[in-house]
Amino acid sequence: MTSAFLGDTAALTGRTLRHVTRSADTIVTTVITPVAMMLMFVYVFGGAIDTGPVPYVAYLLPGILLMTVASGVSYTAFRLFTDVSGGIVDRFRSMPIARSGVLWAHVLTSLVANLIALVLVLGVAVLMGFRSPAGAAGWLGVAGVLFLFTLALTWLAVIPGLSASSVEGAGAFAYPLIFLPFVSSAFVPTGTMPGPVRWFAEHQPVTSIVDTLRALLADRPAGDDLWIALGWCAGILVVAYAGATAAYRRKIG
């Protein structure tokens, strides 16, 4: 049973990855918005924002990486919606393959596509002057947090991919996720914000994740932020996975 599931998932993942490679503009589009935001904030607003001894590109980068993931998972919802509305999922149901392999194929494709996008954004940041003193352990920590965050948002994207009534609705869920970093510590220190906004910024998930990534990239202890960030990611993942599998069961009857 396990070997059949793995084989079916691998075959279906190969199919969805081929769609991505044949439509590379999706990755480019995923990268364009975060890179444009990074260029604008660093070269237009960066001089007016006091981040102490930390270069603004280094301060900004963690939030931009999260925006990249949020932008990327919207295409996961789009690809899944296209398969469902196009009848491909129904066709797979008539074949002797693991039913959950369809979902896992889209999830694994999302992880690969977002990894490529994150590397491209990081490369642009390096060209803009970003440097990190972090060692191997720090970079592994960054990769682990981003992996968990991407996995959580990907399963969240599965829900509208299965339940949306239009292609626009399938991708629209990502808009709040893309803009959530603006009300966090991603772009400016939360201490500069007015009371209620500051409270929200300090207690929403993006701030703890951004602060964790910033500390790891600067080779500093992440402290409690690391555990809060992991808690948020794990909590979102559990809820999203439960919601996605329930939506899938309703969809396939």
Distance CA 210, CA 247 (A): 30
Q: How far is CA 55 from the centre of its chain?
A: 24
Report residue 76 as tokens: 């996961």
> Are 118 and 69 spatial neighbours (Cβ–Cβ below 8 Å)?
yes
Other CB atoms within 10 Å distance of the CB of residue 245: 16
Nearest alpha carbon to residue 142 among 43, 212, 245: 212
DSSP 43: I
Longest C-alpha distance within the chain, in Å?
61
Burial class (CB in 10 A: 0-12, 13-18, 19+), 96: exposed
pLDDT digits (tens, 9 = 90+) for 109-165: 889 989 989 999 999 999 999 999 999 999 999 999 999 999 999 999 999 888 877
Helices first, then strands: H and E counts in the chain = 11, 0
Percent of the chain scoring above 70 in pLDDT? 89
pLDDT digits (tens, 9 = 90+) for 199-211: 999 999 999 999 9
> Are 206 and 184 spatial neighbours (Cβ–Cβ below 8 Å)?
yes
> Are 240 and 158 spatial neighbours (Cβ–Cβ below 8 Å)?
yes
Nearest alpha carbon to residue 15 among 121, 73, 97, 94: 97
pLDDT band at 173; cut points 50, 70, 90:
confident
Average confidence (pLDDT) over 74-80: 83
When divided into structural domains, the chain yields a total of 1
Burial class (CB in 10 A: 0-12, 13-18, 19+), 8: buried
At residue 4, the pLDDT reads: 62
Q: Residue 100: which domain range?
A: 2-252
Look at residue 74 and tell me whether its pLDDT is greater than 60. yes
Residue 63, CB-side half-sphere exposure with 13 Å CA sphere: 25
